[in-house]
Amino acid sequence: MPQLSCHSPFGALTISEDEGQIVALDWGWGRDQEETPLLLKARDLLERYFDGESVDFDTLPYRPYGTPYRQKVWDALRRIPYGKTRTYADIAAEVGGSARSVGGAVGANPIPILIPCHRVVGRSGLGGYSGLGGVADKHALLHLEGSR
């Protein structure tokens, strides 16, 4: 599985591709590095994003592995515009389930940042975040986008 790492304000990130689609984004530097056209495009978009540009990550093809319900939640996350947030309850109203089940799916997102799980917040606070720095990373990403 081709992987490519890049530097970010949150430390090293590694993007993984399988059969021409992005399948994961992980914190840390990957052992093997392979510069495919897709991974180079994803890295370029991430670098521009971290430089403060509003980029369209939907130009990348994704195939996150997960249950059909999680897939519905992740699709809903992709529709949250840059600089905007939705609550867990908002997403539950859109795709079904409860705020708690949405939280479980959001926390299991294998492609954070690119599939913007950081844009989902609680009614009375930020909620959690699966990134290495936890809620501090979520806050920084929202601040980068000008939403909090």
d(CA 148, CA 86): 12
Active-site annotation holder among 13, 92, 113, 117: 117
Element of type H or E holding 70: helix 68-78
The answer to whether the beta carbons of residues 105 and 99 sit under 8 Å apart is no
Structure tokens at 116: 């913007």
110 phi/psi in degrees, rounded to 5: -80, -5
Check if 6 is active-site. no
Catalytic residue annotation: 117
